Chain A
Amino acid sequence: MINKTKKNNRKLTKSDAIEAYKKMLLIRRFEEKAGQSYGLGQIGGFCHLYIGQEAVVVGLQMCIRDGDQVITTYRDHGHMLACGMSPDGVMAELYGRTDGYSKGKGGSMHMFSKEANFFGGHGIVGASVPLGTGLAFSNKYKKNKAVTLTYFGDGAANQGQVYESFNMAKLWELPCIYVIENNRYAMGTSVQRSSAQKDLSQRGISFGIEGEQVNGMDIESVIDAGKRAVTKVRNNGGPYILEMLTYRYRGHSMSDPAQYRTRDEVKEVREHSDPIESLKNLIIENNFLTEDKLQVLNAEIKQVVDQSAQFAADSPLPDPSELFVDVYQ
């Protein structure tokens, strides 16, 4: 399902390659730290890690520009970091502290940043789709040429509201890119067991919405498809579907028995299709950076992540008076 990285047709420039590598590594290290903190009881509730899927969000973010919008599901830490939100603020929210993006009230699944044009963080499967369609509606209404990246999962792709949204998006030619992050499973249910049409990129056909499947484990493929989609959608081309074939390495949330797939399956993907390893190899093969430089970069990112955990641990719990604040404006 997931093709190996194409080594020919080099498209990434040196600076893009390094930029992408940094962001992907930041997400991976951040998520590992979040997993550790969860194990120690610093983070509670649901915590859905993005490990394995980093190329999708990092690649697509490199295709959009200021003013474009992003909305996603509860598996949102990677999206926020890619949007440029601060690791400190995200980690503090995971810890339920006052310096978190939602002042500790939203937690892992519910963070937002108007400044970063990140519209959440939505816990209800499928909900991001009509909401993202509405963001796109507002852009068409305002004629501001912005596009909206509306992310959702393979499991979410079966919700009825997705198709109600598709119909309106095409009817009104809304500038919306639907990004289906197909990581093969919705909790314990594989796409094979949940979906009649398993090629999710074709789910828009009856509405006249085109789509394509993309190797979401390969940053170059993501950027290539992302750029084409953004150009089309921005120039009044109406909505488009990108189905990103990807994989989550960790359990669905923190307590997932994971009986639905074999260890070998996970190992196979990690060893042969890891998006960060492939990009690292590309960087070395092209002499963009030396191994030593990469080590330094690694240590720097580690520092940023450790600092975010420290920042979160040092941030106070919200003041009790916050309980009734922001119910209404």
Chain B
Amino acid sequence: MKTEVYMPAMSPSMTEGTLTKWLVKVGDHLKIGDPIAEIETDKASMEVESQIEGVISEFLVENGQDQIAVKTPIAIIETNTSTEKLKGKLFTNTIDDQPKKKIIKDRVIDQDKKQDKISVREAIRDALAEEMRRDKNVFVMGEEVAEYQGAYKVTQGLLQEFGASRVIDTPITENGFAGLAIGASFSGLKPVVEFMTFNFSLQAMDHIINSAAKTLYMGGGQLNCPIVFRGPNGAAARVAAQHSQDLTAWFSHIPGLKVISPFSARDHKGLLKAAIRDPNPVIFLENEILYSDQESIEEDNDDVISIGKAKILREGSDITLISHSISLKMCLEASKKLAKKNIDCEVLDLRTIKPLDTKAIISSIQKTNKCVVVEQGWSQCGVSSEIISVIMENAFDWLDAPVLRLTGKDVPMPYAENLENLALPSEDELIKIIESLFE
């Protein structure tokens, strides 16, 4: 019996991949778990393993073929019907009576690509590399940052350029290495500490708050702590409560810390460079789902973007939407839809959460007289609570309507797909809230 092998989804966000290399030949006998091919996505490269026992009879895609959609048949395995009847029903599909689908596309390789568009992931890496070239006291440390090239491929290539003394793999011991890095910063080094995700920074919270944020003050200004803690924050896809949460508000509560949460690739680069040069501890919050988003940047752009400055992403006159990081996507989409209904939204990207750009917030309210604040985090004592207070204290007379907000629901993140969608703020909810202010 012939059984198709599909292009597997290696992560929930994967839609397509490149088959970099077949690891078997036609005629090879495969056991369950034998590696068949090497697949590369924008995040990682990995092996596809055989899910059934049998003999490889045909390849449906070639070495190096890219943009192969998930669930596309990539090979055919001839199985021994009697013992294999029950196996692999789900992953593989018997196809004796189905036409074969062949998707052959030439691989387009950008030989000398002029980096006109770079992803958020590359922007962060470039900022790290440029600052490491510029200042030998800058070093990177964290779990899987060196040999593995970063759990999310962000630190790719750094070990090769800067060596193991400046790109350092740590044991899984967040409280320990956060404290160690803070200690190193006390004596003049400039550590950039990666948390594989910010969920794990909770292990190190004491050092971040009690050692990094307060030492300058406690010592009457003698000992500063030039350190950056960076990594993905916020909801990721389907990883449930302990791995999916927005901790922005937590950090922004603490005097002594600066907190950055950028959206565009350009801002990631310029703000990370500023964070590394800043003499204070900076929390640099990225978002896993944004890593592959691209933006055009000139090849030799090495602009440093000032910390503490918000940016207007879309000019508008009827209402201001204030947000940061991935939620801005939703604000921009909603703005487009509302434009058709004659509601002209201004979208303000905070970029820095602490210190907050109150001037930019107030001047936008003075222009639009209405406001909705959007964040993925929980509402109580959230970023939006703070912004609304700032508006009440400084721009109350300019308001034509109460300031409303859309936040993550007050629940731990559920795993089930439908519940996860409900827990997060949605575009529909946002449009409804905005429209309610124009009724």
Contact = CB atoms under 8 A, between A and B. Distances in A.
A259 B148 contact: yes
A170 to B, nearest CB: 21
A41 B176 contact: no
Interface string B46-72: 110101000000000000000000110
Contact of B415 (A37, A106, A320, A327): A106
B173 A39 contact: no
Contacts of B237: 44-45
A254 B11 contact: yes
Interface residues of B, number: 63
B46 A323 contact: no
Contact of B35 (A107, A256, A263): A263
Interface in B1-52: 6, 8-12, 14, 23, 32-33, 35, 41, 43-47, 49, 51
A323 B49 contact: no
Interface stretch (A77-85, A278-286, A299-307): A299-307
Contacts of A46: 239, 243
A188 to B, nearest CB: 4
A87 interface: no
A220 B380 CA distance: 54
Nearest to B51: A36
Contacts of B239: 45-46, 107, 109
A104 B419 contact: yes
B169 A323 contact: no
A42 interface: yes
Nearest to B83: A295
Pick the most buried of B169, B202, B416, B417: most chain A CB atoms within 10 A of its CB.
Answer: B416
B90 interface: yes
Interface in A44-71: 44-46, 51
Contacts of B136: none
A187 interface: yes
A299 to B, nearest CB: 7
Contacts of B418: 317-318, 320
B158 to A, nearest CB: 15
Interface stretch (A118-126, A210-218, A238-246): A118-126
Nearest to A327: B411
Contacts of B396: none
B336 interface: no
Interface stretch (A137-145, A155-163, A171-179): A155-163
Interface in B144-174: 144, 147-148, 151, 169, 171-173
Interface in B385-430: 409-412, 414-419, 422-423
Contact of B89 (A258, A259, A306): A306
| A interface secondary structure, majority | loop
A270 B78 CA distance: 23
Contacts of B147: 188-189, 193, 259-260
A40 B10 contact: no
A258 B47 contact: yes
Nearest to A249: B33
A23 interface: no
Contact of A41 (B12, B23, B243, B423): B12
A257 B6 contact: no
B199 interface: yes
Nearest to A93: B415
A109 B240 contact: yes
A42 B8 CA distance: 11
B195 to A, nearest CB: 12
Contact of A39 (B6, B200, B414, B423): B6
Contacts of B70: 41
B43 A318 contact: no
Contacts of B45: 257
B137 interface: no
A306 B46 CA distance: 27
B6 A324 contact: no
A255 B414 contact: no
Contacts of B415: 44-45, 93, 96, 102, 104-107, 110
B242 interface: yes
B367 interface: no
Interface in A5-55: 32-33, 35-42, 44-46, 51
Contacts of A104: 414-416, 419
Contact of A106 (B41, B49, B143, B240): B240
17 contacts: A36-B90, A37-B90, A39-B51, A51-B33, A104-B415, A105-B416, A110-B242, A124-B199, A156-B172, A159-B173, A160-B173, A189-B147, A189-B171, A195-B171, A302-B87, A320-B418, A322-B419
Q: Which 7 A-B pairs have the closest CB atoms?
A: A107-B415, A44-B238, A39-B8, A45-B238, A36-B91, A104-B416, A188-B148
Interface of B: 6, 8-12, 14, 23, 32-33, 35, 41, 43-47, 49, 51, 70-71, 86-92, 143-144, 147-148, 151, 169, 171-173, 175-176, 199-200, 202-203, 236-243, 409-412, 414-419, 422-423
